Structure 1
């Protein structure tokens, strides 16, 4: 179930983000570098396979995401942040039309410039959208399947207080927890889903 986001306050969400995650804008692939002591990565298929080939493998992908998200316990509502990229500050979709299909009710939250040093004529603008959804079975499956297929990226899932962050990507998920102790406990519960890479990638 989707909660109407008429009351979603972009400025309040920005203030909350800055309080919870200081020094790191809401760019999913930056989180690991900013919070390495609270970060963990899980792979979404056995033997670190990147993309599912059939419904049986999609079921594994979704089950792993659901398992971790349920253990993290977002509460009654899940914050869903999706991303679009444009060549100008305007909100006209340029690269990922699938985003508006799987998150049609999301409201524009903010515009970021990930590389401010780029030539202004060739600059890429990151457009962030936010919505809340009533947490429950299947509520986020369309988003997770689109991520698994590399149809959308830079997705962030979180409880509405932003106490933890969950970044699904095509191949797995990055999780950033409030403390290293909580990170270690989650890691120990799902060691079979970890990478064998020495850096955990």
Structure 2
């Protein structure tokens, strides 16, 4: 996939947002839900057993939704206050297996002037890869430890899978698919009314 093809795909599939995962729950709330990675909504793993539970949960639900050997995109990026700075995936060793393609800078002030200042930019990048269970565990652990941000997209199924430090956010193609998986994994949902 080229940079231009990604831009076309994103514009057609997710026109109401930009590729920054914390925005998805608000911009696609009707197609969004969240699971927690640990029992009792514990945020961070503190033992080998908790890491085992976290990775088992995350791999189980992502594999259930994507399937094995699914072609996916890995999307990441970084905030930068210098428009001319470049995204450097090599700074994160966990990104070494992925071949990133840089996307155009996003002017955050133009996107949401009430939240950002002039000169605030986001530098996104994406890589094509394959989803197989446990293949991306190192990346999932880094995200779970809040060391970096990244999310996955199945182009074929129009599903976003956005792990974070505490769980995973999902944005599905439609409400029916969301409701199906939400019911399947109801034991992993938050007890909060807002689903967070």
Query: Normalising by structure 1, what TM-score?
Result: 0.85
User: Structure 2 stretches of 5 or more lacking a match?
Assistant: none
Q: Is the partner of 1:84 in helix, strand or coil? A: strand
Q: Is the partner of 2:84 in helix, strand or coil? A: coil
Q: Distance in 1 between matches of 2:164 and 2:45?
A: 13
Q: Which moved more, 1:85-94 or 1:58-67?
A: 85-94
Residue 67 (structure 2) pairs with residue 110 (structure 1):
no
Q: Distance in 2 between matches of 1:80 and 1:21?
A: 16
Alignment of 1:1-201 (within 5 A): 8-73=1-66, 75-92=69-86, 100-104=92-96, 105-116=99-110, 117=113, 118-120=116-118, 123-153=119-149, 155-161=150-156, 163-201=158-196
User: Structure 1 stretches of 5 or more lacking a match?
Assistant: 1-7
Deviation of 1:119 (Å) = 4.1
- Number of residue pairs matched? 189
CA RMSD of aligned residues (A): 2.0
- The change in CA–CA distance for 1:78 and 1:136 in structure 2 (over 3 A counts) is same
**Which deviations, in whole Å up to 9, do the C-alpha atoms of 1:10-44 show, x marking residues without a partner?**
11101111111112111211111121111111011
**Which deviations, in whole Å up to 9, do the C-alpha atoms of 1:44-82 show, x marking residues without a partner?**
111010111122111111111111111112553221111
**Which deviations, in whole Å up to 9, do the C-alpha atoms of 1:143-166 show, x marking residues without a partner?**
11110010002x220113461101
- The change in CA–CA distance for 1:70 and 1:175 in structure 2 (over 3 A counts) is same
User: Displaced runs of 4+ in structure 1, greater than 4 A?
Assistant: none
- The change in CA–CA distance for 1:124 and 1:98 in structure 2 (over 3 A counts) is farther
